[in-house]
Chain A
Amino acid sequence: MTQHDQNQDAQLDDLFAAARRDAPEPSDVFIQALFDTIPEPNAATSVTVETVSPGWWTGVRQTIGQIFATRNIFADASALTGVIAAGVFGVWIGVNGGDIGGVSLNPFEAQGLDIVDPFSGLDLSYVDGGA
């Protein structure tokens, strides 16, 4: 690059700098006017929250929970529903004889083994007074 080119570049840079200095500063009134273009947040909000309908069991738990919560019987009625469910399940096992869909809950029966009482003779001994 020759001295002439360098001078021309420098003069052009000088013109650019002059143009930047000559540009007016944005006034506070203008910045405030820009702020005024901002819509209220509610108008701009686009985020939507997807709602999921609760399942049948969740509905039952919530219903029971609401009943107890309404009566102020327990502080955490939702947890109580688990206890109730366990109780109902236990009663049902008792009525059903521990047989669920043909599968026994008794581990020995499940393996095809008969239960043998190793002390069955003691029952009669007690009846006979140990004789």
Chain B
Amino acid sequence: MVKDTDISLGDLADNALLVLFANGSKLAAMELTRRLGPKVFRHAYYRLQNKSDAEDIAQEAFLRLWKIAPDWKQDQAQVSTWLYRVIDNLCIDRLRARRPSSSLDDLTNDPVDPSPSADQSMLDQSRARALHTALAVLPERQAQAVRLRHLDNLTNLEIAQIMGLTVEAVESLTARGKRALQAQLHGQKTALGYENDTA
């Protein structure tokens, strides 16, 4: 039996860490948390646009992961794939429960950054806000595919596993999603700092 001390936990695959945790290794669970926690948090944040909500959702997802760990089938799914699915479902539930105005309130309550890079930060903020607003208008599956591909930086194969689609279907969804985003954002170029674009 493999023990924590025999090999470096950092070299093990996510699934192996989860199996180690199910066999009693808390260190394996901590390594898995360090590895996937930030990714899971960001994925929730891209969807919810609220740090506190994203943290809640990420914690809930990990609680569910520890709960199902004893029954985990190594050959069935990747841990990260499973977590992204759970996060997506939890975010949908959270968005349904939200009041329509709460999302906008969260966006306007961010403190102003006084650092020298504040201009760039404010520009990023306005561009990010425009992008998320445009994504929210897209059909759900298109928006999900675009987020996973271009914000979470996942491969088409990983996205296909998460969404239960073929790679070709994912490519089609992201292509249509990007075209729809470009159409939506076309009228906002000046506001987003692209006034010098000659195209």
A and B are interacting partners: yes
Tell whether B143 is near chain A: CB-to-CB under 8 Å: no
Q: Are A18 and B123 in contact (CB under 8 A)?
A: yes
| Chain A residues within an 8 Å CB radius of B55 | 26, 30, 33
Q: Which of A8, A16, A24 contacts B150 (CB 8 A)?
A: A16
Could you tell me the dominant secondary structure of chain B's interface residues? helix
| Chain B residues within an 8 Å CB radius of A26 | 37-38, 41-42, 55
Residue from A23, A40, A47 with most neighbouring chain B CB atoms (10 Å) = A23
| CB of A33, distance to nearest CB on chain B (Å) | 6
Residues on B close to A: CB < 8 A? 21-26, 29-30, 33-34, 37-38, 41-42, 45-46, 51, 55, 58-59, 62-63, 66, 69-71, 121, 123-125, 127-128, 130-132, 150-151, 178, 181-182, 185-186, 189, 192, 194, 197, 199
Sampled A-B contacts (10; CB under 8 Å): A3-B199, A7-B199, A8-B186, A11-B194, A15-B181, A22-B125, A30-B37, A31-B34, A34-B59, A38-B26
Residues on A close to B: CB < 8 A? 3-4, 7-9, 11-16, 18-26, 30-31, 33-35, 37-42, 44-47
Other contacts beyond A22-B127, A33-B55: 20, CB < 8 A: A7-B199, A12-B181, A12-B185, A18-B127, A18-B128, A19-B151, A23-B42, A24-B45, A26-B41, A26-B55, A30-B41, A30-B55, A34-B33, A34-B59, A38-B29, A40-B26, A41-B21, A44-B24, A46-B71, A47-B22
